[in-house]
Amino acid sequence: TDPALIRNFCIIAHIDHGKSTLADRMLQLTGVVEQRQMRAQYLDRMDIERERGITIKSQAVRMPWAPTESDGALVPHILNMIDTPGHVDFTYEVSRSLAACEGCVLLVDAAQGIEAQTLANLYLAMENELTIIPVLNKIDLPAAQPDKFAGELAHLIGCEPEDVLRVSAKTGEGVDALLDHVVRKVPAPVGVADAPARAMIFDSVYDAYRGVVTYVKVVDGQLSKRERIRMMSTNATHELLEIGASSPEMTPSEGLGVGEVGYLITGVKDVRQSKVGDTITQLHKGATEALGGYKEPKPMVFSGLYPLDGSDYPELRDALDKLQLNDAALVYEPETSAALGFGFRVGFLGLLHLEVVRERLEREFGLDLIATAPNVIYQVAMEDGTEHTVTNPSEFPTGKVASVREPMVRSTLIAPSEFIGAIMELCQARRGNLQGMDYLSEERVELRYQLPLAEIIFDFFDALKSKTRGYASLDYEPSGEQVGDLVKVDILLQGDRVDAFSAIVHKDKAYAYGVRMASKLHELIPRQQFEVPIQAAVGARVIARETVRAIRKDVLAKCYGGDISRKRKLLEKQKEGKKRMKVVGRVEVPQEAFIAALSSD
């Protein structure tokens, strides 16, 4: 295809502003999906995506479109649309997609206005020097205020309110005009056709039947079927078994040229061999200089994942190996816990990523799992000059600690101005530092806070929603590290530490954490033959204590004079019960108690 007739664009928006629905309408209007095959959120393929109504993986689709010129002529163009996820955890997917485009549709809900991810995505698009097409969606809603929000949006990106398009992704109103606009406004891709091929990998997914499917944008040259290619970062070589475009089903072709977006298959089985951000060239007379890559996604949040049934450990390992084929951002290593047995310490991009991975493990692999409380990464400097990276609080080094650094985030909060007080109060309580505040319009305000990541990952979003009646939105990005007044709190049963309950918390919150965990365990641990003290301690200092009183349990007491087979049954039953007990020191605790104590309230 002549690059002059290609337009590569994506749709970016705050969560729920209607990206996937707009993508559906475009698929229909351009005729790539037939009416009777159409279903809502056509491009969201994963069960979790469909059920939760969110997009997790990006998708690229080729669509034909011929805008009507002023002279009435129709010039067929090729549009490559890339649907992107909206949630902060998946921002790295968004930025990859953006780098494959020349333009983007910035979609804003006409009943909601600009939200935190609208801004975050807009800044990403500006960094990538994309042409931005501002669009208000959901104009069919009675609550829509298109005039008001067109003004807000125009002010934000520096255009006239009349330049803001208005559509309803639901009814399809205005969507054909939007497609015409994309052809007119988004620049055609530029590249050198007779140079050695350079194609950028912007996504790779594992398909059980075909192996890894790699999504690329060809920047220079041409990639052809059967050709041998080289991955420029690893120098690994492969044969191109298949190359083509998704429209939206995979459609093989002879090759891809300058500006084209498509997929390729080499028979590789592991997504890590087809690294996102890498450049592909031909093996023979290939390019010598790779294209600029992407930032590697870095795990921000760690949690221990354990099978409820210890004998499922090999299945869990196998399942994680398989998920990683699909999700290059997932990292894990084996770990053991006295309380929970054998499991893995797993790194995630954020809490939603954690939830999604956990749900996929349980659903797609039939595993029952327990996850320990999530924590961030700490850098611990000791007085003897050594440095430790701590991803598991129970591995906090012993000895004289000089300082503990924790990851920080730069957060943006947008809300109606009546909630400024409530938001400030919340951020203050979470050790936040106000960096700035701007009015987007008379009644909507943007606040910027520097916050410790650890304060955000638990229940910050829920607290924010409840304090603002759901009107506030939040976005954040990593912003270095900072020394914090942090201590490790241990929970001890009869003097023995229960590893799964160690936590690193701010000094001011250590007492509350200790009291909460001790009283929770006190409720859950059954009485034993002897007294069991439950203590919370910071170093050698005990900050909270509860005691489970002793009992003498005699299972045979009930069957005084009873027959021997009944006694035997009872003894058997008791033995069975023991198997599910975990022993900490001398104390036997049913695993359920640990699980109940770990599940958040």
Is 138 part of any known ligand binding site? yes
Among 6, 26, 33, 54, binds ligand GTP (CB under 6 A): 54
Name residue 151's amino acid: G
Whose CB is nearest to ligand GTP? Answer: 86
Name residue 514's amino acid: G
Q: Does 77 bind ligand GTP (CB under 6 A)?
A: no
Among 7, 10, 12, 21, binds ligand GTP (CB under 6 A): 21
Q: Which two tokens stand for residue 484?
A: 């914090």
Is 16 part of any known ligand binding site? yes
The least distance separating ligand GTP from the CB of residue 157, rounded to whole angstroms, comes to: 19
Q: Does 470 bind ligand GTP (CB under 6 A)?
A: no
Is 480 part of any known ligand binding site? no
- Give the span between the Cα atoms of 510 and 508, in whole angstroms: 6
- Give the span between the Cα atoms of 151 and 21, in whole angstroms: 24
- Give the span between the Cα atoms of 455 and 28, in whole angstroms: 44
Binding window for ligand GTP (CB under 6 A); candidates: 10-18, 278-286, 306-314, 440-448: 10-18
Binding window for ligand GTP (CB under 6 A); candidates: 134-142, 262-270, 428-436, 498-506: 134-142
Q: Residue count at the site for ligand GTP (CB under 6 A)?
A: 20
Q: Which DSSP string corresponds to 141-186?
A: STT--HHHHHHHHHHHHTS-GGGSEE--TTT-TTHHHHHHHHHHHS
Q: Does 116 bind ligand GTP (CB under 6 A)?
A: no
Q: Does 25 bind ligand GTP (CB under 6 A)?
A: no
Is 140 part of any known ligand binding site? yes
Binding window for ligand GTP (CB under 6 A); candidates: 119-127, 167-175, 380-388, 571-579: 167-175
Task: Give the HSE-up count for residue 570: Cα atoms under 13 Å, Cβ half-sphere.
Answer: 14
Q: Does 138 bind ligand GTP (CB under 6 A)?
A: yes
Q: Does 137 bind ligand GTP (CB under 6 A)?
A: yes
Name residues whose C-beta falls within 8 Å of residue 51's C-beta, 6 or more positions apart in sequence: none
**Please, are residues 344 and 333 in contact by the beta-carbon 8 Å criterion?**
yes
| b/e map 417-429, b = 16+ CB within 10 Å | eebeebbbebbee
Is 255 part of any known ligand binding site? no
What's CA 466's distance to the chain center, in Å?
Answer: 23
Closest CB to ligand GTP among residues 106, 219 = 106
Name residue 440's amino acid: L
Name residue 424's amino acid: M
- Give the span between the Cα atoms of 182 and 243, in whole angstroms: 26
Is 21 part of any known ligand binding site? yes
Q: Does 140 bind ligand GTP (CB under 6 A)?
A: yes
Phi, psi for 589 (deg, rounded to 5): -125, 130
How is residue 550 annotated by DSSP? Answer: P
Binding window for ligand GTP (CB under 6 A); candidates: 26-34, 50-58, 387-395, 477-485: 50-58
Closest CB to ligand GTP among residues 21, 281 = 21
Binding residues: 16-21, 137-140
Q: Which residues of this protein are in contact with ligand GTP, per CB under 6 A?
A: 13, 15-21, 41, 53-55, 86, 137-138, 140-141, 168-170
Binding residues for GTP: 16-21, 137-140
